[in-house]
């Protein structure tokens, strides 16, 4: 009887140790994935801020890593939200608020890149929005209204990014007089041939 009790106690202890090891591995994995998601969200947000603070027009690219378990990345003009597969069929979700407001663009819209924007402005307003060919104040106000409409739309319908494709972040400057200018931070995806048209 005493031997049987010791065996049962041994089995209970072994089961407890195995369960604690399994749970610690599972929760450690979820914690590590959440930390990686937070790192990626912060890196993305910091790249936006750094590009916005630069003194000249330029384009940078960002690639999300760990796409084997990354489920989705959605953005609005204020937030990026990353979700990934967790343990026990759960989802891990990380949200990061932007310090600057990007202007998300899709290839289905009438323009996507900075060069497309200058062409679009030339076709619709008769001016490219460059220092040598500035927009009128009225045309610039219309462009800002288009940005505000985009902000509202993406606040209600966040844009889902393709996680295996690079994200392009472009700083473009639009002049609305010889000295007055405004910088926009465009955010888009797509192949080079798609973006050129």
* Gap between the Cα atoms of 67 and 161, Å rounded: 12
Instruction: Using alpha carbons, select from 2, 4, 92, 110 the residue that is nearest to residue 41.
Output: 92
pLDDT of residue 129: 95
pTM: 0.80
Total domains present in the chain: 1
Instruction: Using alpha carbons, select from 63, 54, 83, 81 the residue that is nearest to residue 71.
Output: 83
Q: Which long-range contacts (CB under 8 A, 24 or more apart) does 142-148 make?
A: 143/174, 144/182, 147/103, 147/184
Q: Which domain holds residue 157?
A: 2-196
pLDDT of residue 1: 46
Task: Return the bridge partners of 161, or none.
Answer: 73
pLDDT of residue 32: 83
Cβ-in-10-Å burial (0-12, 13-18, 19+) of 167 comes to buried
Each residue's pLDDT tens digit in the chain (197 positions)? 455 566 666 677 677 777 666 655 555 577 788 888 999 999 999 999 999 999 899 999 999 987 677 889 999 999 999 998 877 677 889 999 999 999 999 888 889 999 999 999 999 999 999 999 999 999 999 999 999 998 899 999 999 999 989 999 999 999 998 889 999 999 999 855 455 54
């Amino acid at each position: 009887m005493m031997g049987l009790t010791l065996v049962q106690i041994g089995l209970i202890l072994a089961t407890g140790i195995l369960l604690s090891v399994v749970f610690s591995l599972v929760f450690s994995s979820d914690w590590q994935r959440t930390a990686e998601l937070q790192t990626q969200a912060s890196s993305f947000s910091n790249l936006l801020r750094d590009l916005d603070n630069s003194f000249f027009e330029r384009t940078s690219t960002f690639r999300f890593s760990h796409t084997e378990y990354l489920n989705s990345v959605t953005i609005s003009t204020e937030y990026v939200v990353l979700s990934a597969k967790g343990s026990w069929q759960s989802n891990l979700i990380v949200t990061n608020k932007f310090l600057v407001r990007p202007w998300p663009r899709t290839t289905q819209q009438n323009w996507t890149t900075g060069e497309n924007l200058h062409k679009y402005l030339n076709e619709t307003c008769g001016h490219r929005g460059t220092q040598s060919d500035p927009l009128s104040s009225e045309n610039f106000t219309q462009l800002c209204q288009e940005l505000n409409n985009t902000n509202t739309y993406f606040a209600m319908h966040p844009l889902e990014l393709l996680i295996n494709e690079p994200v392009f972040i472009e700083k473009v400057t639009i002049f609305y007089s010889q000295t007055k200018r405004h910088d926009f931070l465009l955010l888009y995806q797509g192949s080079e041939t798609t973006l050129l048209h």
